[in-house]
Structure 1
Amino acid sequence: MFYPNASPHIGHLYSLVTGDVFARYQRLKGRDVEYLTGTDEHGMKIQRAAKLYFGGGAGREKEFCDALSERFRDLGRPANINDTCFMRASSEEHHRAVDHGWRDLYTKGFMYKSQYSGWYSITDECFCTDAQVSSSPSLPAGDSHCVSLETGTTVEWTSEENYMSRLSAFWDALLEYYISNPRSLYPLQYNENVLAMLGAAPLIPDSDSASEPASTFTSTSTSADPTKVPVALVEDFELGNTSISRPRS
């Protein structure tokens, strides 16, 4: 799934070809393979890119994504990419699936509301801990921004009420699974990283799964709480589980 805040480049094509190679190889082995591609349309990066593209005009993010999504759809055709379907996160099918999944998780007690504060990177679309950021000499003293030690991108202190996913409910099961299936993550060093995280004391809180910081463009909301926007943890699961029967158009 590509993030359509700008036109596709050769790196996107490389990703498509790599995925296609894996999919074709598994099909040769007789496995039933569903190769999903598409565009993931939400977030502050798209909001800002659309505003810049339209000369400061706000509220045209959907129009911006419509145009760019088609460029990503067209990218794989000359390379004969044999994907199963092209999914857009703004599709009505996806909206219904996310809403259903969200309600199911909430009903089972795996989601709850809580206040969350942290260093957020718009570029990387993730929160960082205090240990993952440092102050930057280029920023004014007392500024509420720092930089990510891993990527060097600017992060800003953000605090708001969000829904949290109860990762602690799955902690033991995940640890047991990754120990029993050491090749379930690849490259192998990532499996070791996950084991180190799950095997140590709980250093990370339950995961923030409800929204990016407020006032961002999104193509998806949930009827259970229209003020919040499901993101990666919920949306990616739904993309992978609801696009199987949808043919590429």
Structure 2
Amino acid sequence: MADPFYITTAIHYPNGRPHIGHAYEMIAADAIARFQRQQGRDVFFQTGTDEHGLKMVKTARDRDMTARELADEMSSYFSEMADKLDISCDRFIRTSEADHYKASQAIWQAMADAGDLYLDRYEGWYSVRDEAFYEEKELVEGEGGEKLSPQGTPVEWTAEETWFFKLSKYEKPLLDFYAANPDFIRPESRRNEILRFVEGGLADLSVSRTSFDWGVPVPGSPGHVMYVWVDALTNYLTGAGYPDDQERLARYWPADIHLIGKDIVRFHTVYWPAFLMSAKIALPKQVFGHGFLLNRGEKMSKSVGNVVDPMALADYYGVDALRYFLLRDVSFGNDGTFSDEAIVTRANADLSNSFGNLAQRTLAFIAKNCEGKVETGRVEDADGVLIAEVENACGGFIRAFEDLSLSQGVELWMAGVFACNAYIDAQAPWGLRKTDPERMHAVLNTLLRAIRRLAVTIAPVVPGSAEKLLAQLGPQGDADFRIAPPTPIFPRLELKEEA
């Protein structure tokens, strides 16, 4: 039976339409999931929407609709984006689903049974936008002297009866766990940040609200709904079958990777492991906090008016060109910048001019000059050298993807493409057609092998294009297949006029 691999994105908060940052996280997770399937793993890949909390209630009120109606509408936009961007998720979870309510109440009960929940009064600073509580020492001063969260969002003083989770009890267990599992938090910069935060001391965490009712009801405590992060984080367990499907849970839990944005690392590496420790459930193997996408080097915000719709980009430049750019040009784990010019430049240089042109001229030559079929020819050392270079490039891609060095993997793959282009120019099959047809066939066979290997390897990054190219190459080993005049897989992109 195949080795299981469970990967999740953060579930996206749908109080607004999806932006390019949501798309980037989905695309990266999808490439990793597709790669792991290629390696023979039994992959379960989950994404979805996180639909409860005060922010949803306020947004719905502003739009004169119920929170449920807002969740239904907004969640559909995220689901459509997943379809549009060729995201191969096995489940698109919504936290308003019945099985998720059951899982959230089960983990709550497990934490209560451990003696880690108590009723008290909460007074403190709360950011509606972050759905997060902050201590006085964490706040920063805004330009007008107002108090802001560390993320720069407004905070308000709240006071209400609430259930508390004994987070302080888990300070040492968490530090011990980080020490024993150095790869639990990646990259290293995020790990160091969390170590400093936990070493600074943990206060108990308010985990229920009574000021609104859009959330998972707290079992046995009428009027209380769970703090949105308790229920949001539990989605990862819901997808794995918790609490009822023990066979599925044993197969997929603990998750291999929670892939998230760097702004929510604390929730995933402090609160979530503490909840799991309390409930006596195994901790995920790794939390990877990727960087932000910046629009021409600037953080995107509605007020600046530079928020980018990923659907519009995909429609104009093509899904695979967008996927390729994001995975090739953004160093995974760091912030990255993008622009229309950068997408066009990268897609044309790598996909159209290099790989696409290589495939196009090879297949077109075979269709035109060999009636679509290549015979065995006279093999020379140069052929073996090229195949070795391509294998080396594709092996580098595999090792880099195993380590989540995604951009480095694509860069190593490109070395194989460059080797093929140097080979076809040096061997010049168009010249050999008249002078040495036997040698020509060997060269073309070598190129077909190399192109197939490159197409299969890059498929997790550009799945639709790779599939089309492999269809043009035909089934491997099919002696009767004839290559037809090819359709270009990667047409050259033009910059949008307004860009």
Give the whole-Å Cα distance in 2 for the aligned partners of 1:230 and 1:197: 24
| Greater mean deviation of Cα atoms: 101-110 or 27-36 | 27-36
- Could you tell me which residue of structure 2 aligns to residue 158 of structure 1? 158
Q: Tell me how far apart the structure 2 counterparts of residues 91 and 162 of structure 1 sit (CA, whole Å).
A: 24
Matched, 1:242 2:242: no
Distance 1:83 1:155 in 2: 35
Match of 2:29 among 14, 19, 33: 19
Determine the C-alpha separation between the residues in 1 that align with 2:239 and 2:142.
Answer: 43
Structure 1 residue 178, shift from structure 2 partner: 0.6
Alpha carbons of 1:146 and 1:181: their partners in 2 closer, same or farther (altered >3 Å)? same
- Aligned residue type for 2:45: Y
- The residue number in structure 1 matching 2:433 is none
1:129-161 C-alpha deviation (Å, 9 max, x unpaired): 21222555647xxxxx6223x332221111222
Tell me the equivalent position of 1:69: 75
Q: Percent identity?
A: 31
Residue 78, structure 1, aligned to residue 84, structure 2 = yes
Q: Distance in 2 between matches of 1:115 and 1:230?
A: 15
Whether contact under 8 Å (2:164, 2:208) holds in the other structure is yes
Match of 1:44 among 28, 37, 54: 54
Give the match for residue 203 of structure 2: 205
Against the structure 1 CA distance between its residues 23 and 131, is the aligned structure 2 distance closer, same or farther, given a 3 Å change threshold?
same
The match for 1:181 is 181
Conservation of the 8 A alpha-carbon contact between 1:103 and 1:224: no
Q: Report which stretch shifted further, 14-23 or 220-229.
A: 220-229
Q: What is the match of residue 167 of structure 2?
A: 167
Q: Quick check: 1:111–1:164 contact (8 Å CA) kept in 2? A: yes
Tell me the distance in 2 between the aligned counterparts of 1:112 and 1:177: 25
Mapped to 2, the partners of 1:33 and 1:107 lie a distance apart of 33
Whether the 8 Å contact between 2:50 and 2:232 is mirrored in structure 1 is no
CA positional deviation for 1:184: 1.1
Q: 2:157 and 2:71 mapped to 1: Cα distance?
A: 28
Question: Would you say 1:5 and 2:15 are equivalent positions?
Answer: yes
Larger radius of gyration: 2
Structure number having the greater strand percentage? 1
Whether 1:146 and 2:150 are equivalent positions in the alignment is no
Aligned with 2:223 (options 211, 216, 227): 227
What is residue 211 of structure 2 aligned with on the other side? Answer: 215
Please give the per-residue CA displacement for 1:181-212, whole angstroms capped at 9, x wherever unaligned. 11110121221222233345x3x31222223x
Q: Supply the distance in 2 between the matched residues of 1:62 and 1:198 (Cα, whole angstroms).
A: 36
Structure-2 change in CA distance of 1:134 and 1:167 (3 Å): closer
- Give the secondary structure class of the aligned counterpart of 2:62: helix
State the secondary structure of the residue aligned to 1:218: coil
Q: Which amino acid aligns with 1:32?
A: D
Higher share of residues assigned helix: 2
**Cα gap change, 1:167 to 1:30, in 2 (>3 Å):** farther
- How many residue pairs were aligned? 232
Q: Which moved more, 1:113-122 or 1:127-136?
A: 127-136
1:110 corresponds to 2:116: yes
Provide the TM-score with structure 1 as the length reference: 0.83
**How far 1:172 moved relative to its partner?**
2.4
CA 1:97–1:10 in structure 2 vs 1: closer, same or farther (change >3 Å)? same
Give 1:171 deviation, angstroms: 2.6
Partner Cα separation in structure 1 for residue 102 and residue 121 of structure 2: 27
8 A contact 2:213–2:224 mirrored in 1: no
- Which whole-Å CA distance do the structure 2 matches of 1:7 and 1:157 have between them? 28
CA RMSD of aligned residues (A): 2.3
Match 2:94 to one of 88, 91, 94: 88
Greater displacement, 5-14 / 230-239: 230-239
Is the Cα–Cα contact under 8 Å of residues 40 and 88 in structure 1 kept in the other structure? Answer: yes
